[in-house]
Amino acid sequence: MAEVTNDIIKQQRLDKQEVVDVIKQKLSKSSAFYVSRYDGINVEDISRLRKELKSANSEMKVYKNTLVKLALQEEVYGKEFDSLLLGPNSITFAYDDPTSTAKILFDFAKKNKSLVIKGCLFDNEFYGPDKMSVIKDLPSKHTLLSMLANVLSAPMSKVARTLDALREKKEQS
């Protein structure tokens, strides 16, 4: 049997600290992150989900719950996630539009009941299982920009039509 030395223990601590640092870095780069239970999903389906998430500039990772808790412990919202970080979980980081990531996760969960979205951090606010329907129903960034463009263009179109009518009236007189 191999002897456990202080050097081995120190190396294991360093390895764990590196993982915690990677998680912290991903958290700081992400606009939102989601905690999901994923047990019972086959490799093919989880690979397909990861590919979809990648196309939305998001990624799903599996870490030990204790390491995620260590990464979150200095954050204001860190304690909120303690109750969610039980059992087999995945962490999904959304680097761009967090609503696109949510849509992909919720659409997948609708088809595959083994994926349970337990909670998330969205716009620096914690959403637990009871509030996840709020996130699910948010419009995407692209949809919001389209709505904004329509709101802004309506008054401009009205001004353009009014000016055109004035020009026509002036030409007739």
43 band by pLDDT with thresholds 50, 70 and 90: very high
What's the token pair of residue 138? Answer: 């948010």
Q: Which CATH superfamily is domain 6-138 in?
A: Ribosomal protein L10, N-terminal RNA-binding domain (3.30.70.1730)
Q: Is 69 exposed, middle or buried (0-12, 13-18, 19+ CB in 10 A)?
A: middle
Q: Is it the case that residue 97 has pLDDT exceeding 90?
A: no
Cα separations in angstroms, 66 against 15, 31, 73, 75: 14, 22, 10, 15
Query: Is the model more confident about 127 or about 55?
Result: 55
Report, as an integer, the average pLDDT of 4-8: 74
Q: What is the DSSP letter of 62?
A: -
Looking at the chain, the whole-number percentage of residues with pLDDT higher than 70 is: 80
pLDDT of residue 155: 66
Please state, rounded to an integer, the average pLDDT across all residues of the chain. 82
Indicate the pLDDT class of residue 56, thresholds 50, 70 and 90.
very high
Q: Which of 27, 26, 23, 19 is nearest to 124 (CA)?
A: 27
First to last CA, the chain: 105
Give the residue from 38, 19, 16, 15 showing the smallest Cα distance to 27.
Answer: 19
Residue 53 has pLDDT above 70, yes or no: yes
Dig out the tokens for 89 from the structure: 């979980």
Where residue 24 falls among pLDDT bands split at 50, 70, 90?
very high
Q: Which residues does residue 155 pair with via DSSP β-bridges, in sequence order?
A: none
Q: Higher-confidence residue: 3 or 72?
A: 72
pLDDT digits (tens, 9 = 90+) for 116-145: 999 988 878 888 877 666 555 555 555 545
Interval 58-67 mean pLDDT: 94
Residue 37 pLDDT: 93
Distance (Å, rounded) from C-alpha 29 to C-alpha 162? 47
Helical (H) or strand (E) element with 150: helix 141-172
pLDDT at 136: 57
Q: Are 123 and 77 in contact (CB under 8 A)?
A: no
